[in-house]
Amino acid sequence: MSNSLSTTETIGNTVQKAKSAQFEFEKYNQSQVDEVVTAVAWSICNPANNKLISDLAVSTTGLGKVDDKILKNKRKTLGLLRDLKNVKTVKMENLVFDSSLFRPMKSGRVVDSHFSSEGGLMKGTNYAIVGDPGIGKTTVMLDMLADLQNKGKKVLFISGEMNQIDMYGYVKRYPKFGELPILFMGDHTEDNNLEVIENILSEGWDVVLIDSMAEVQNAVVDTHKGWMSSKKAETELLNLFEKHNLGQNDSNTNTSFLVIQQVTKGGEFAGSNRFKHMMTGMAHMEWTKEGDRTFFFSKNRRGGDMSVRMFSLQNRNRIGWLGTVAVGQE
C-alpha cells in the first residue's frame, strides 16, 4: 500500500511540475519553442535514452526487437523534427510586440507614403528596389537614406558596385550624400567579406541600403573561392537580414534593409524564392514612353500608396518627387 501511495505521489508531483512547465512554456516565443522541441528530439535520439525507451517498449508489450525499436525511434523523431522546421506554431495572441515597431521612420518626403500605410519605412522590414539601368535606383535610395539620417536615424550604405571615386561623383551633385557612413566592398578584397558585413551590421543600424544584392553576393563569393557558391552567399546574407530584422545586434535595433536588385536580360527579377518571400515590398523604377521616370510598388505587405509617381533627378541635392499618374496612363 505504501508503495502504491508513493507511486501516486510521484505521479502527482510529476504532473504538477509538468503543469508549471506548461504555464511557462505558453509564454515562449517561436524561437524558444523551436529550441525546446529540438532539445526534446535530441534527448530522445541520445543513444542511452533511446535504448532505455526501446528496452521498456519491448519488455512492456512483448513485441518487436530492441534494435529495431532504436532505429525506428531515431527515424521517426528526426523525421518529425524535419517536418516541423520553419513551421510557425506560436499563436498571434501569445506574441509580445514592441510598440516602437509600429512607429514609421520618416524621411519627410512624399515617397514615405509609398512605403507603408503609416507613412514611412517600418522597422524590421525589407524592400527590394528594381528598375531599368540608369534610371536612378542608387540615387533615389541614397537620397532617402540621407534624409532619414537627417531625421536622426542611424543609416549605412553597403556598396558592391562603387568605389570612393565613383561616390565622389554622387557627392559632387548631392552634397548631403557625403555625410553617409559607407562600406565599400572593394576595399576588402583580401578579407572575409561575410565577416566584414556581419561585424559592421552587429553595431545595429536603423536602415541599411545594399547596392546591389548581386554584387555584394559576388564580393562574398570572391573571398571564399573554392567553397562558397552564389546561392550559398545569398543564403548567408539573407540569414543576416533576418537576424538584424529581429534586432539581434549590439543595440537591439530592428534593422530595415533597402536592397537594390538586378533584373535579367528578359526583365525578370533576379533572386531566389526565399529572397522574394523575405521582401516586405517590391519597388520598381521605369521609364515612360515619353522618357519620364516613374516609381511604384507592385507588392507591399505594409500597405501604402500603390500609385505610379513620377520623379526627377534635375534638382541639386534632392530628388524631385512629382505627381502621380494612373496605372496604364503612361
In the chain, the number of structural domains is 2
Task: Please write the tens of the pLDDT for every residue from 232-272.
Answer: 999 999 999 999 999 999 999 999 999 999 776 666 667 78
Task: Please write the tens of the pLDDT for every residue from 105-162.
Answer: 999 999 999 999 999 999 999 999 999 888 999 999 999 999 999 999 999 999 998 9
Same domain, residue pair 156 and 88: no
Same domain, residue pair 203 and 313: yes
pLDDT of amino acid 262: 76
pLDDT of amino acid 194: 93
Same domain, residue pair 155 and 295: yes
Same domain, residue pair 179 and 244: yes
Same domain, residue pair 116 and 191: yes
pLDDT category of residue 1 using cuts at 50, 70 and 90: very low
Q: Where is the domain boundary, 94, 125, 149? A: 94
Q: Go through 220-244 and write b for each residue having 16 or more CB atoms within 10 A of its CB, e for each that does not.
A: bbebeeeebeeeebbebbbebbeeb
Give the global pTM: 0.71
Q: Is residue 208 part of a domain?
A: yes
Is the model more confident about 256 or about 23? Answer: 256
Q: Where is the domain boundary, 94, 120, 146? A: 94
Same domain, residue pair 59 and 146: no
Give the domain range for residue 226.
100-325
pLDDT category of residue 34 using cuts at 50, 70 and 90: confident
pLDDT category of residue 330 using cuts at 50, 70 and 90: very low
Indicate the DSSP class of residue 270.
P
CATH number for position 126: 3.40.50.300
Q: Where is the domain boundary, 36, 69, 94? A: 94
Same domain, residue pair 249 and 117: yes
**Cα(first)–Cα(last) distance of the chain, in Å?**
89
pLDDT of amino acid 148: 98
Same domain, residue pair 149 and 29: no
Q: Is residue 330 part of a domain?
A: no
Same domain, residue pair 104 and 227: yes
Q: Is the dihedral of CA 100, 102, 103, 106 positive or negative?
A: positive
Q: Find out whether 304 and 120 touch, Cβ atoms under 8 Å.
A: no
Q: Is residue 175 part of a domain?
A: yes
Q: Is residue 188 part of a domain?
A: yes
Task: Please write the tens of the pLDDT for every residue from 268-301.
Answer: 667 788 999 999 999 999 999 888 999 999 999 9
Calpha distance 257→283 (Å, rounded): 13
Q: Find out whether 276 and 120 touch, Cβ atoms under 8 Å.
A: no
Q: Is residue 306 part of a domain?
A: yes
Same domain, residue pair 286 and 321: yes
Task: Please write the tens of the pLDDT for every residue from 162-208.
Answer: 999 999 999 999 999 999 999 999 998 778 999 999 999 999 999 99
69 pLDDT above the threshold of 90: no
What is the residue-averaged pLDDT of the chain?
Answer: 87
Q: Find out whether 245 and 255 touch, Cβ atoms under 8 Å.
A: yes
Same domain, residue pair 149 and 259: yes
Calpha distance 239→241 (Å, rounded): 5
Residues 6+ apart with CB under 8 A from 54: 66, 67, 69, 70, 73
Same domain, residue pair 17 and 87: yes
